[in-house]
Structure 1
């Protein structure tokens, strides 16, 4: 069995690798090659944290299974430990043996950001120059890298609802942005962040929309990544009604978990019929993507375990080839 740490993962698995792995996962999911029960969410007695279990089996050429053990404990930030800790055991589909145990926080950050990267590559205007990123938590740095990996951006505005956090993030991440020739700018309000933005990624835990539909220009692409429970949303209803093409990563999961859709559906202001398809459908050519330069496109993701298993398998393969990781016997 191979143990793979954060450092091991980052030494063999790039953001481009993650984007391609996610595209592969979307296709396998859409083709029906994956068995993915809805994730199990268990809230702690104190109501201060959630433990989540995300199992999946992916067949086809992969033939791997696993489960992501992931938790959400907001108070961890004050303790200097991950708010969303995770671990992924990877199971060989032929023998049933656990072949690897992979540090799941890093895997989750990269594969989640790669969803936005893939959607931005597939749906945003190719000449996009300005982006906005909402949220500066544990996901934000990887989301930033994903945006810069798929588009030749000139400027990314950073907004966080908590005062001072955007400025700290900009200072900390400018070195990464310099590698891509991108200027990071602190935005002191949502309007300044999104005005004339070509691409927007939201990765917050907000219960209410984080920007106004009125401030979104024609042709913008939006990745809704953060809020993932039925009672929370980042995207305004008016934007959903205005968008020309709306895609999801996993239709069943999004319609069960995403308040961005569930809340306006209960209000009678949005219909699931407005969803053009899953990203797998788009990659396979089953549905049409962006149809004009001025069309607004949206991707809503809540994540699903196929992404973790495919990414974990790719990481395991690359680590084995590179001789990276620690071999143990239980």
Structure 2
């Protein structure tokens, strides 16, 4: 058996953000067509360990990701992604930290391209952890930004991130302390935190704003408030996963701020379009295995050349 092992630098060199966005978009369209087997992920130790898997029937390919999460260490995510195909004995093993950053950014790019105003150019990022930079890279790939605002409890980390992204993407980046001030009048908001309470008030958002909420992945976590979900067009990554894991959605349903009919899966939205009136939009993701399958597939094809 031939095993190809890829570390963070090799993954980053092989996969551009535009390519990752395209691959993840295609994967969600394939999910909508019923091409995947994708069990709900296994969660151990209250989210300390996660196991995710996906099988794409048409290509007889599969991906399994195992990882641990500890937000008191850096990086918080550690693990491996394994890619296999029935027609080949070769296996690809890749670093899960870098894969997760890229695939989480990529799904934000897909959702932003679908839901944000076509002329959007300003973004607020709440959170400056390991997922943060690729959130901005993905947004910039589909809506070229001129201004970035960053809010984080770690001021030095936020300033370092702003300086790095400003230079990399050639955009203006500032750090603000107040989330409500930071989201005011911007086109796009990206939330990448482990918060257990909503990060900002809906009244602070522009009427046309699009919000990506990707940080909260457990029922005890929340980044966006019920009132925003109630009045916005809400797109989710996958219904079963969100109903089991998204604290925002679980809380809003329990409070009767929304019903399940309020939730539109990303694959359906991509295939059939989104009906909206120009108001606020929210994309809620807890992360699903086909995202990792999509990026692993890119790596497998690149390494086979």
Specify the TM-score bucket, using the shorter chain as the normaliser.
over 0.9
Which whole-Å deviations, capped at 9, do the CAs of 1:76-110 have from their partners, x for residues lacking one?
Answer: 23xxxx21112101111345x45211112111100
1:33 to 2:35 alignment: yes
- Please state whether the residue corresponding to 2:207 is helix, strand or coil: coil
Contact 2:196 2:223 (8 Å CA) reproduced:
yes
- Secondary structure (helix, strand or coil) at the match of 2:304 reads helix
Q: How does 1:226-237 map to 2 (within 5 A)?
A: 226-237=215-226
Query: Match of 2:234?
Result: 246
Structure 1 residue 63: deviation in Å? 2.1
| Residue in 1 that maps onto 2:206 | 217
2:116 corresponds to = 124
What is the CA–CA distance in structure 1 between the aligned matches of 2:248 and 2:87, rounded to whole Å? 39
1:31-70 aligned at under 5 Å gives the runs 31-43=33-45, 50-60=48-58, 62-70=59-67
Query: Does the CA contact (< 8 Å) of 1:231 and 1:263 recur in 2?
Result: no
Cα offset, 1:211, TM superposition: 0.8
Cα distance in 1 for partners of 2:286, 2:57 equals 22
Q: Which runs of 5+ in 2 are unaligned?
A: none
Distance 2:144 2:291 in 1: 26
1:176 maps to which of 168, 171, 184? 168
Post-superposition shift, 1:231?
A: 1.4
- Assess if the C-alpha contact under 8 Å between 2:147 and 2:172 holds in 1: yes
Alpha carbons 1:120, 1:221 under 8 Å: kept: yes
Q: How many residues align?
A: 303
- Residue pair 1:248, 1:279 contacting (<8 A) in 2 also: yes
Alignment of 1:1-330 (within 5 A): 1-43=3-45, 50-60=48-58, 62-77=59-74, 82-94=75-87, 97=89, 99-178=91-170, 182-243=171-232, 245-275=233-263, 277-285=264-272, 288-289=273-274, 291-293=276-278, 295-321=279-305
Q: CA offsets per residue over residues 86-142 of structure 1, 9 Å max, x none?
A: 2101111345x4521111211110011011111001111010121111100001111
Q: How far apart are 1:290 and its partner, in Å?
A: 5.3
The CA distance in 1 between the partners of 2:216 and 2:298, in whole Å, is: 27
**Secondary structure of residue in 2 paired with 1:270:** coil
Question: Does the 8 A contact of 2:77 with 2:96 survive in 1?
Answer: no
**Uncovered stretches (5+) of structure 1, i.e. residues with no partner:** 322-330
Task: Tell me the TM-score normalized by structure 2.
Answer: 0.95
Normalising by structure 1, we get a TM-score of 0.88
Matches of 2:54 and 2:246, distance apart in 1? 20
120-129 or 157-166: bigger deviation: 157-166
RMSD: 1.5
SS of the residue aligned with 2:267?
Answer: helix
Name the CA distance, whole Å, in 1 between partners of 2:111 and 2:166.
24
Name the CA distance, whole Å, in 2 between partners of 1:168 and 1:2.
34
Q: Could you tell me how far apart the structure 2 residues matched to 1:106 and 1:260 are?
A: 26
Q: Give the direction of change, closer, same or farther, for the CA distance of 1:130–1:290 in structure 2 (3 Å limit).
A: farther
Aligned equivalents of 1:93 and 1:269: distance in 2?
46
Give, in whole Å, the separation in 2 of the partners of 1:195 and 1:52: 35
In the aligned structure 2, how far is the partner of 1:310 from the partner of 1:163? 34
Gap change, CA 1:213 and 1:87, over 3 Å in 2: same
